[in-house]
Structure 1
Amino acid sequence: MFRNVALFRDRGFATFWVATLAYSAAQWMERVITGWLALGLGGDAFAVGVVLAARLVPFVVFGLVAGSVADRFSRRWILITVAIAAALVNLSLAAFLARDQVTLVLLIVIGFVTGVIQVFDLTSRGAFAVDLVGREHAAPAIALNAVGLRFFGAVGAFAGGIVIPTLGSAWGYVVVAGLFLLSAALVVVVRPTARTARADVLTEPLAGMVAGTARLIWRNPAVRMVVIASVASELFGYSHQAALPSLARDALAIGPEGLGALTAAASIGATISVVVLSVIPATTARPPLLTLTLAIWGVTLAGLGLTSAPWLALAFMLGVGACASAIDVLQQTIAQMAVPDRERGRATGVWVFSIGLNVIGLLQVGAIVSILGPAVALVGNGLGAITAAIVIATLNPRYRWRGRPSIVGA
């Protein structure tokens, strides 16, 4: 644990980590505000699902491209650019709200633009963290970066729930924009090094790199299994987010503050899980951890759907968040360590492309919640996650506990 914390002695990594805190707080505050706004404008969970799904379409369309861009250009400047773009998008939303011109269609369009921004951020952020400390510290760097994302995600989510009834959504978006700009300014301060500048000198044509990213799925068994696990996780796990606003408003009757608390609980659980992952020895097999976590995730989702007590829902959300975050980090780690340095951005791009398939899961959950309620949707997805874990372990022996210890798997 102390060896991992020692990474903060690197001034560049420490500064980037603080930038990640600001970025995560902004991102999760915005998600809470937008989710509640979509529920009010659309009236049901399907509207929330559509808005969230719009964010993920770019993951499918641009995921492979963004991964190639992260290997072709400066990851540092990509992160600066996307943070500034995110600030401008949120300031625009604040202006529309101030004029009472926000519609569900506008939220869908803004959601798509936000998704484009997130694609290019995700493919560069994890790889840049590894650039700063070196490949030998990849696993703890990714885990510590995830700790920052999850911990301040909890702060941002909880703050979003408070901002809605106090300052109003418009001022909430202004705060979000300020946090994105702070993140951009901090990344500017990070001094380029030989490792962080390496992406600038790659001269392979971008079109060829995108084609190579697609081929990476087929020629690398470890990356291919990450795609399969990611699809299962998106369809049955992460799609639960479409049910949360309706769960808070209709099933638990806890309002926007309660929605913020549920989201914050998930982020707290996520923080705990990535801290635990950061101290697990590199010799411990990551693939079996992934399948075990996916099965536990299914249990917590089903429990969340069956409970009617707010305090118990918060407890289940701790578990849901812990499993979601662990799956996230494990997939990134397996993908990053399965390829050479020059392909790390593309490996992340493959993972991001898989995330985009959550569009199907979000729409599915939104539709089921609208017709049958959040309980049926969450229990159904929980059972789906458990089944998926069993199938993955059946397909690949390395995802079973008796497999040979390896950080990358196959």
Structure 2
Amino acid sequence: MTLPPIQFIRRVRVSGGMTALLLGRFLAVFAAGLFDITLLWLAIDTADNIETVALVLGLRLLPFIIFGLFGGWLGDNLDRRAIIIVAYVVRVAIIAIGMAALFYGASAIAVLGVTGFLLTAIRSITSPTIRAIIPQLCSAPHLHRAVSTFETLDYAATIIAPVVGGLALAAFPPLVILAIIAALFLGAAIISLALPRRPDTRRTRAPLINDYGSLLVFMLRRRAAFVVCMALNTLAIVAVSGAELLMIPMHTDNMFPDDPALLGAILSLMALSGMLGALTTGLMRSWPQQTTLYTAWVVYGLSLASFALLERQATILLAAVALGYSGAIVDTLLMVMMQRAVSGRHRAKLLGLMSIVFNFGDVTSLWMTALVASAFGYPAVFLLAAAITLFIAGSGLWLTRQEVARASP
């Protein structure tokens, strides 16, 4: 069937806008990954002690908590296309200033630490906007697939960047790598010019506090079930994040000290299976979202427990595949649910708010994990995290069943 010309143009425009968003995002995440590996290498190479390295890398986590609310408000009150383009250009300028400082002899560790903080600040401000614009570029029935593709490309860039960065560091000086990073951000800005313009039909902009107050009132009155779901998922993140980020590397090194390549294999398999999980989620449009979400948490919890109970490398690698696959399903479904929970006027604010909540959960989890590991040992961390996760997932499945029963005639 032939489409009317106007509908055809609109479809092409939406498709082109989504393609521009995905390509620009891929280049930006790839550039950020190259910077991360460069920062890590130079920090280790030039720092006098491990505390300095930790400080430099830790500075890059603060902006997500500091600027998340402002970034969400910005994405709902200004033109999202303009925010994305300007953010990429500002990153080019930040890299250029850092290159100039290095060229004139400034301390590499200081320059890259400040540059990393500024780059992450821009990323934390614009991250809600980049995700909030997705529903503008695709129809509602295709939101699942669009979000899954978005997450899959993030996984792909995260996998490729450290490999390319390691090869580049061996072949080129840091200034050349920084120039490549700047060129990638500039390419992302140019590609993002293809994002469709949208007329500003929004209401008068409200102050940040009033805007978030309206969002919270709406969520508590109209989306109470969603708030409960996000609370349960936040508790699950607090339970498992430290075990995944901290304990898997340490426990693997403790069990197989003569096989350092095993940790690399585990992390690679988790990332690759994460790509597959994100792609699979795109096919789950007709599946019950919350039931699928909590079922994925069950698989995640069992996989995490396996790291404490299994001793053979082959079975541990299988557990890593299940962990990465189920974790990606959780991440992608959470993103889809947040996109659909509110209208466009509140979407970026909700994403910014949840970014703060989830990042705070990660930090809390790392601290609690260290305490449990010091008191009871590494295996206890995995078993406790798995038990809490399974309890939360079971509670979520029960609440979902009750909600469905109440909604049934």
What TM-score do the two structures reach when normalised by structure 1? 0.76
1:138 to 140, 143, 160: 143
Q: Distance in 2 between matches of 1:384 and 1:322?
A: 18
Aligned residue for 2:333? 330
Of 327-336 and 390-399, more deviation after overlay is shown by 390-399
Larger Rg: 2
1:186 Cα deviation from its structure 2 partner: 0.8
Preserved contact between residue 161 and residue 261 of structure 1 (Cα < 8 Å): no
Q: Distance in 1 between matches of 2:384 and 2:13?
A: 40
How do 1:4-403 and structure 2 match up within 5 A? 10-35=15-40, 41=47, 53-91=58-96, 99=105, 101-103=107-109, 109-167=114-172, 171-192=176-197, 194=198, 197-198=199-200, 201-207=202-208, 208-219=210-221, 220-239=223-242, 240-242=244-246, 263-282=267-286, 284-303=287-306, 316-357=319-360, 358-363=362-367, 376=378, 380=381, 383-394=384-395, 397-399=398-400
Of 166-175 and 129-138, more deviation after overlay is shown by 166-175
1:290 Cα deviation from its structure 2 partner: 2.0
Distance 1:393 1:247, change over 3 A: closer
Q: Distance in 1 between matches of 2:266 and 2:101?
A: 28
RMSD of aligned Cα (Å): 4.1
Preserved contact between residue 147 and residue 275 of structure 1 (Cα < 8 Å): yes
Distance 1:269 1:396, change over 3 A: closer
In the TM superposition, what whole-angstrom CA distance separates every residue of 1:376-406 from its partner, at most 9, and x where no partner exists?
Answer: 2x86156415413422542673456x8639x
Q: Distance in 2 between matches of 1:172 and 1:309?
A: 40
- Which AA in structure 2 matches 1:380? V
Distance 1:47 1:341, change over 3 A: same
Counterpart of 1:55 in 2: which secondary structure? coil
Q: Distance in 2 between matches of 1:33 and 1:320?
A: 28
Distance 1:341 1:35, change over 3 A: same
- Which AA in structure 2 matches 1:113? L
1:132 Cα deviation from its structure 2 partner: 1.0
Distance 1:305 1:205, change over 3 A: same
Aligned residue for 1:404? 404
Distance 1:226 1:97, change over 3 A: farther
1:249 Cα deviation from its structure 2 partner: 8.2
Q: Distance in 1 between matches of 2:312 and 2:98?
A: 34
Of 20-29 and 211-220, more deviation after overlay is shown by 211-220
In the TM superposition, what whole-angstrom CA distance separates every residue of 1:222-270 from its partner, at most 9, and x where no partner exists?
Answer: 4423532442354344443356776898866777x98876655433222
In the alignment of these two chains, the number of paired residues is 388
Preserved contact between residue 32 and residue 160 of structure 1 (Cα < 8 Å): yes
Counterpart of 1:148 in 2: which secondary structure? helix
What TM-score do the two structures reach when normalised by structure 2? 0.76
Q: Distance in 2 between matches of 1:336 and 1:174?
A: 35
Distance 1:95 1:48, change over 3 A: same
Distance 1:154 1:309, change over 3 A: farther
Unaligned runs of 5+ in 1: 1-5, 406-410
Preserved contact between residue 92 and residue 182 of structure 2 (Cα < 8 Å): yes
Unaligned runs of 5+ in 2: 1-10
Counterpart of 1:10 in 2: which secondary structure? helix
1:188 Cα deviation from its structure 2 partner: 1.4
Preserved contact between residue 49 and residue 366 of structure 1 (Cα < 8 Å): no
